[in-house]
Structure 1
Amino acid sequence: MTHFTAGVGSGLRRRIERAGGDYPPLYPAVILSASVVVTVISVAQRYPFDRIGWLIPAVAFAVVTLTLDLTLPPTSYACFGVITSTVCFLMIPTPSDAAPLQLVLMTAIGAAMYPLRVGLVVGAVCIAVIVAFGAVGHLEAPALYGLGVACGWLIGYMVLIQKRLADNQARVLRARADRAASDERRRIAREIHDVIAHSLSITMLNVTGARRALEQDRDIDEAVDALADAERQGRQAMSEIRSIVHVLGAQTGQSESTSPPPTGNDLDQLVDDYRKAGVDIDYSVAGDMDSLTDPVGAAVYRIAQESLANVVKHSTGKRARLAVTVGESVSIEIDNPAPCGRRPTCDGTGIDGMTQRAALLGGTLETFHADDTWSVRAALPARTTSEGIRSKGVSV
């Protein structure tokens, strides 16, 4: 019995939700309950039922309409079924009649659930019914009922406007969440690309150097040093990737430590790694790297890291020039050989990532090919704060 009752209740709840269309279940539940109450009161007012010929059709139209509301998707025909039921009730005049309250409810439903034209038609028909029965003397105070119908339409239309505003706000929030998720995916892809491209470039150079040392020179010590550098780069890459994954899955209360983001002072180690791997780098720094804020220092490092990785992947000669100048702004210049007619073939991910990093800080980055040289030029503000970056929804 308990399961049967629960099943009936669940089925009725689903039908009420469907009757309300896009509205919360409370709205159709209140309207349908009020309609049932008005119908019962209207029947009771006509006791002792001496004009059964009008009462039966009135109740029948009300019951059929309620059944259709609970079984079919919302339709404006239900409003006219209830209006017909009200007309039948009004053919049996009674003092302080409750039947016209059905017209108030139907006008509110028509304005709230259907297009404006349909809502106006429902309201006009309800007003016409009240005027007609008031004119023949079957309805007391028709003006009061007419005012009720007008108020019902206004309330229903206000509910419709409120629903549309809520729907618009929900769409805006979904679009904002989608943009935030897309920005986060691009940021994660940029971070992973920078880490993997840099680490694999140096690792491959070291492995290649070790192989050549063994094949050509039989120099075991040099090969071991190259393999040790490759191992260190691999471990560093794993650590950085682990940090990124940790940030993605971080939960309150987790105590696992993550490695800090790189800074401008890490450029020395970056350049040294590439030099050990066989890349000839002319490196110079002018100004105080310690004066850079963390976001700017991280951007300088990542731009240099991606540019040097591109040197390994695309340059005709394993050499490059890296110059960083720190003042009121930070300028980064990277040049490497690239003969005319052979523009570096890139998938765009690295250049796009560098450009986005600069733009997020309020800076610029451009790349160009001239005089057998591929060049990267970046200009960043030196005083950008991490709070300003976070306000844009981007982590350092």
Structure 2
Amino acid sequence: MSGKLERTRCRLKAHPLALDASLAAGVLVCMVAGSFVDPHGRNGVTWGVRTPDALALVLMVLGALALVFRRRAPRTVLALTGTVSLVECVVGDPRAPVAMSAVIALFTVAASTDRPTTWRLGLLTMTVLTGASMLFGPLPWYAQENLAIFAWTGIGATAGDAVRSRRAFVQAIRERAERAERTREEEARRRVAEERLRIARDLHDVVAHHIALVNVQAGVAAHVMDKRPDQAKEALAHVREASRSALNELRATVGLLRQSGDPEAPTEPAPGLDRLDELVGTFRSAGLHVEVARADNGTTLPAAVGLAAYRVIQEALTNVQKHAGTEAKAEVSVVRVGPNVEITVLDNGSGEDDASESGGGHGLLGMRERVTALRGTLTTGPRYGGGFRVHAILPVKTRTATPGGTA
């Protein structure tokens, strides 16, 4: 049953002119039928005692025809129906319910306009029709027919305003739901993009560091293979160790992407400054001269800050290894300054193949994103007299999300 009603409602919405024509026909039938009723008969309401005159029939037909176009021009239709109702109240039989067409037109205006317009037009219609009936009609001013005109026009305006308010409320709820859905989708896309960027940054840090070491050690092994096989074996052992470390870190990074039902991924803690000596040792074994100075007083850093500091040093030394030249030396310093920890990596390379100065690659971009995510600052650039400088300031205490703020 509900399905048939819904289909019928959809058909009527698809053909509004046909719906209005049907409504006009129904109103015309009600007005004609009401004109044959005498509410003051001897036995109460009497049917067929009186008949409408020709003027009343013409006015009822004109009022009903105007209702066919109530959606296209609601105010014009109200003016037309109000005019024929006024004529009926003044010169015709006031018991002929021509004012019914004006009530329907007033309902349409109230349902399709705002509340101030409804008040103005509603009061004007009620005042004009009721006043004309009381002052110029053939019945006494206190007759119930005159009061009925006032009551029915008020009901039409009130009902139309209620329909308009309900439509506005439903539309507001729908728009709010659509806005919430769009916001949820945008937030999901933003989080996916941030996660993709983080994974890409981690992969870049891991691959760039270890592949650079593998490349250097493989070159050393190829150079001394014939003359110094012992040193070549040592270089190949470093290649093996670097590749194993790269595989382990790649496995740990990719393991974050697994589903809950997948095999369990490695759960090693993220590297931090406690593994700085190990990191520097891999570069020293690759032939890079690195000096380390620490004045952080054994500060225990949060995992995110420690990882960012580790990755900044790793990427900076990798760039020195790749771009600064074979005779380059690097200096790494870790200093606690108030609420921050400062990381500085200097080198005295020639910079002949320094791609970092031209902004190439993703290493500097990845470092900057890591530091900025922790509300720190990163400064990079060439040094006076040659070489390159990377300086990062990281807050020791990271900010957490609060209900009224952001992370």
Which category of TM-score, normalised to the shorter sequence, fits these structures? Answer: 0.5 to 0.7
Cα distance in 1 between the residues matched to 2:351 and 2:395: 33
Cα distance in 1 between the residues matched to 2:206 and 2:394: 22
Aligned twin of 1:354: 367
Aligned twin of 1:206: 214
Please report how far the alpha carbon of residue 271 of structure 1 lies from its aligned counterpart in structure 2 after TM superposition: 2.5
Cα distance in 1 between the residues matched to 2:284 and 2:225: 20
Q: Given the superposition, is the C-alpha separation of residues 351 and 227 from structure 1 closer, same or farther in structure 2, using an over 3 Å criterion?
A: closer
Deviations 1:131-155 (A, max 9, x none): 4333432864666545973795598
Cα distance in 1 between the residues matched to 2:24 and 2:275: 79
Tell me if structure 2 keeps the 8 A contact 1:62–1:85.
no
What one-letter code is carried by the residue in structure 1 that aligns with 2:33?
Y
Q: Secondary structure at 2:397's aligned position in 1?
A: coil
Aligned twin of 2:113: 110
Q: Secondary structure at 2:240's aligned position in 1?
A: helix
Cα distance in 1 between the residues matched to 2:291 and 2:180: 50
Please report how far the alpha carbon of residue 282 of structure 1 lies from its aligned counterpart in structure 2 after TM superposition: 1.6
Tell me if structure 1 keeps the 8 A contact 2:24–2:65.
no
Q: Secondary structure at 1:333's aligned position in 2?
A: strand
Cα distance in 2 between the residues matched to 1:161 and 1:188: 40
Tell me if structure 1 keeps the 8 A contact 2:302–2:398.
yes
Out of 74, 79, 100, which is 2:74 matched to? 79
Q: Given the superposition, is the C-alpha separation of residues 238 and 282 from structure 1 closer, same or farther in structure 2, using an over 3 Å criterion?
A: same
Aligned positions of 1:147-296 closer than 5 A: 149=157, 156=164, 160=168, 167=175, 174=182, 178=186, 181-182=189-190, 185-186=193-194, 188-218=196-226, 219=229, 221-246=233-258, 256-257=264-265, 259=267, 260-287=269-296, 289=298, 291-296=300-305
Q: Secondary structure at 1:335's aligned position in 2?
A: strand
Gaps of 5+ in 1: 20-31, 66-75, 112-118
Please report how far the alpha carbon of residue 332 of structure 1 lies from its aligned counterpart in structure 2 after TM superposition: 0.8
Residue range with higher mean Cα deviation, 296-305 or 183-192? 183-192
Aligned twin of 1:134: 130
Deviations 1:300-351 (A, max 9, x none): 1222233233323433455422211246431111112355897622247443
Aligned twin of 1:334: 345
Q: Given the superposition, is the C-alpha separation of residues 306 and 162 from structure 1 closer, same or farther in structure 2, using an over 3 Å criterion?
A: farther
Cα distance in 1 between the residues matched to 2:387 and 2:404: 38
Q: Secondary structure at 2:290's aligned position in 1?
A: strand
Deviations 1:207-253 (A, max 9, x none): 3422441354243523531431342143134224413434xxx56x7
Cα distance in 2 between the residues matched to 1:17 and 1:158: 21
Q: Secondary structure at 2:293's aligned position in 1?
A: strand
| Bigger Rg, structure 1 or 2 | 2
Cα distance in 1 between the residues matched to 2:4 and 2:204: 56
Tell me if structure 1 keeps the 8 A contact 2:217–2:236.
no
Please report how far the alpha carbon of residue 102 of structure 1 lies from its aligned counterpart in structure 2 after TM superposition: 4.7
Cα distance in 2 between the residues matched to 1:18 and 1:291: 74
Cα distance in 2 between the residues matched to 1:238 and 1:18: 64
Q: Secondary structure at 2:331's aligned position in 1?
A: strand
Please report how far the alpha carbon of residue 359 of structure 1 lies from its aligned counterpart in structure 2 after TM superposition: 3.5
Cα distance in 1 between the residues matched to 2:80 and 2:402: 65
Q: Secondary structure at 1:377's aligned position in 2?
A: strand
Q: Given the superposition, is the C-alpha separation of residues 368 and 301 from structure 1 closer, same or farther in structure 2, using an over 3 Å criterion?
A: same
Cα distance in 2 between the residues matched to 1:104 and 1:390: 47
TM-score (norm 1): 0.66
Q: Given the superposition, is the C-alpha separation of residues 98 and 79 from structure 1 closer, same or farther in structure 2, using an over 3 Å criterion?
A: closer
Tell me if structure 2 keeps the 8 A contact 1:334–1:376.
yes
Cα distance in 1 between the residues matched to 2:403 and 2:126: 62
TM-score (norm 2): 0.65
Report 1 or 2 for greater relative contact order, CA contacts < 8 Å, sequence distance ≥ 6: 1
Tell me if structure 2 keeps the 8 A contact 1:316–1:337.
no
Please report how far the alpha carbon of residue 106 of structure 1 lies from its aligned counterpart in structure 2 after TM superposition: 2.8
What one-letter code is carried by the residue in structure 1 that aligns with 2:371?
A
Gaps of 5+ in 2: 36-51, 89-93, 134-144
Higher helix fraction: Structure 1 or Structure 2? 1
Aligned twin of 2:398: 384
For the pair 1:373 / 2:387, whether they are aligned, the reply is yes
What one-letter code is carried by the residue in structure 2 that aligns with 1:107?
A
Aligned twin of 1:94: 97
Tell me if structure 1 keeps the 8 A contact 2:345–2:390.
yes
Q: Given the superposition, is the C-alpha separation of residues 263 and 196 from structure 1 closer, same or farther in structure 2, using an over 3 Å criterion?
A: same
Please report how far the alpha carbon of residue 290 of structure 1 lies from its aligned counterpart in structure 2 after TM superposition: 6.2
Q: Secondary structure at 2:113's aligned position in 1?
A: helix
Cα distance in 2 between the residues matched to 1:313 and 1:206: 11
Aligned residues, how many?
356
Q: Given the superposition, is the C-alpha separation of residues 378 and 229 from structure 1 closer, same or farther in structure 2, using an over 3 Å criterion?
A: same
